[in-house]
Amino acid sequence: MTEEIDLDELDVGPADEDDESNPGDWFWHGEGDPPDDAEATAAETDDAPRPGEDAAADSESAAAGGATNGEASDAARVPHVPRENKDRPVGIPKASGGAGADTAAAADAAEASPTHGDSEESASGPHGGGVDDMTLALTYDAMKQFAEPLLVVQDARAWADWVGIVGDVEAFVINKFQREHDIDVDFFSGAGQTAAERLADIGKHSMFYAERMVLVGLPAEREIAERADWEFIPLSDATEKAGWELADDAE
Residues 133 and 227: their CA atoms lie apart, in Å, by: 21
- pTM here is 0.51
Greatest Cα pair distance, the chain, in angstroms, is 117
pLDDT tens digits, the chain, 251 residues: what are they?
A: 555 555 555 555 555 555 555 544 444 444 555 555 445 545 555 555 555 555 444 555 444 554 445 554 555 555 555 556 666 666 566 666 666 655 455 445 545 544 444 433 333 555 556 789 999 999 999 999 999 999 999 999 999 999 999 999 999 999 999 999 999 999 999 878 899 999 999 999 999 999 999 999 999 999 999 999 999 999 999 999 999 999 988 87
- Locate all alpha helices (DSSP H) within the chain, ordered by sequence: 25-29, 38-47, 53-63, 71-75, 103-112, 116-119, 140-143, 149-156, 171-181, 195-200, 222-228, 235-242
Q: Which of the 8 DSSP states describes residue 190?
A: -
The dihedrals phi and psi of 210, each to the nearest 5 degrees, come to -150, 170
What pLDDT does 140 receive?
A: 97
What pLDDT does 16 receive?
A: 53
Helix (H/G/I), strand (E/B), else coil: 205: coil
Residues 67 and 84: their CA atoms lie apart, in Å, by: 23
| Domains identified in the chain and CATH numbers | 20-75 (no CATH), 132-242 (3.40.50.1000)
Residues 30 and 36: their CA atoms lie apart, in Å, by: 9
